[in-house]
A and B are shown apart, each in its own frame.
Chain A
Amino acid sequence: MIRGMVIDLEKCIGCRSCVVACKQHNAQPAGNWWNRVFTPGSSRHLSPPEKGREYFLPVHCQHCRNAPCEKVCPVGATYKHDDGTVLVDFERCVGCRYCMAACPYGVRQFNWEDPKKAMKRYEYQNEYTYGHPKDYRLNGRLVYMQSRFKGVVEKCNFCVHYLDQGLDPACVRACPGKARHVGDLDDPDSNVSKMIRDKNGFNLLAEKGTEPTVFYLPPKRKEG
Chain B
Amino acid sequence: MSNSKKIGFLVTGLLMIAGFVAWIYQYKEGLVLTNMRNSYSWGLYVSGLAFFVGNAAGGLVLSSLIYLFGVKSLKPFAKIGALTAFANVTAAMISILPDIGQPIRLYHMLLHPNLNSPLVWDVIVLNLYAALSLIYLYILMLPDLKGPLAKIALKVDQPKEFSEKWAKRLAPFSLVAAMGIHVITAWIFATQGGRDWWNSAVLAPDFIAVAVASGTAVVFIVSLLTYGFKNEHQQAYRSMAIIIATAYFVHIFLMYNDFIIHYWYGAHEALETLSITFIDYGLAHAFEVLAPLAAVILLLNKKIRQSSGAMISSCILLILGVFAHRFLLMPAAFDKIQLSMNPLGLQHNYWSVPISSGQYDPFIDTFVTKWHYFPSAIEITIFLGVIAFMCFVVLFAMDRFPIAGEAEA
Contact = CB atoms under 8 A, between A and B. Distances in A.
Interface of A: 30-33, 36, 38, 40-42, 49-50, 53, 55, 57, 59, 68, 71-77, 92-98, 100-106, 108-114, 118, 122, 149-153, 204-205, 208-210, 218-219, 221
A219 B344 contact: yes
B395 interface: no
Contacts of A49: 343, 346, 349, 351
Contact of B192 (A38, A101, A150, A205): A101
B194 A208 contact: yes
Contacts of A75: 105, 108-109, 111-114
A57 B345 CA distance: 14
B366 A31 contact: yes
Nearest to A221: B345
Interface string B154-198: 000000000000000000000000000000000010011111000
Contacts of A111: 30, 101
A2 to B, nearest CB: 20
Contact of A94 (B29, B109, B192, B195): B109
24 contacts: A33-B366, A40-B343, A40-B346, A49-B351, A53-B346, A68-B193, A73-B114, A74-B114, A75-B108, A77-B108, A93-B101, A94-B106, A95-B101, A97-B99, A97-B101, A98-B188, A103-B194, A106-B339, A106-B355, A109-B358, A112-B30, A113-B30, A152-B101, A204-B341
Contacts of A218: 344
A153 B105 CA distance: 14
B38 interface: yes
B103 A94 contact: yes
B337 interface: yes
Contacts of B307: none
A63 to B, nearest CB: 15
A43 B59 CA distance: 52
B360 A122 contact: yes
Interface of B: 29-32, 36-39, 41-42, 96, 99-103, 105-106, 108-109, 111-114, 116-120, 123, 188, 191-195, 333-334, 337-339, 341, 343-346, 349, 351, 353-360, 366-367
A102 B345 contact: no
A102 B38 contact: no
A205 B339 CA distance: 7
Contacts of A31: 356-360, 366
Contacts of B346: 40-41, 49-50, 53
A50 B351 CA distance: 13
Contacts of B108: 75, 77, 92, 94
Contacts of B114: 71, 73-76
B93 to A, nearest CB: 13
A54 B109 CA distance: 47
A71 B339 CA distance: 20
Nearest to B104: A94
Given A30-B360, A50-B346, A221-B345, A76 B112 contact: yes
A149 B351 CA distance: 34
Contacts of A153: 101
A110 B358 contact: yes
A205 B106 CA distance: 33
Nearest to A62: B339
A38 B339 contact: no
B30 A41 contact: no
A35 B118 CA distance: 29
Contacts of B333: 101
B353 A112 contact: no
B49 to A, nearest CB: 11
A74 B117 contact: yes
Given A96-B101, A118-B360, A150-B101, A112 B32 contact: yes
Q: List the 5 closest pairs (A to B, CB-CB), nearest first.
A: A95-B101, A151-B101, A104-B194, A40-B343, A113-B30
A106 B100 contact: no
B337 A106 contact: yes
Nearest to A218: B344
Contacts of B357: 31
B353 A96 contact: no
Nearest to B114: A76
Given A36-B354, A75-B109, A209-B193, 15 more contacts: A36-B353, A50-B346, A50-B349, A57-B353, A59-B339, A68-B192, A75-B114, A92-B105, A96-B101, A97-B42, A97-B101, A106-B353, A113-B29, A122-B360, A218-B344
Contacts of A103: 194
B101 A110 contact: yes
Contact of A114 (B30, B99, B118, B359): B30
A74 B120 contact: yes
A132 to B, nearest CB: 20
Given A32-B356, A106-B337, A55 B344 contact: yes
Nearest to B349: A41
Contacts of B42: 97, 101
A73 B343 contact: no
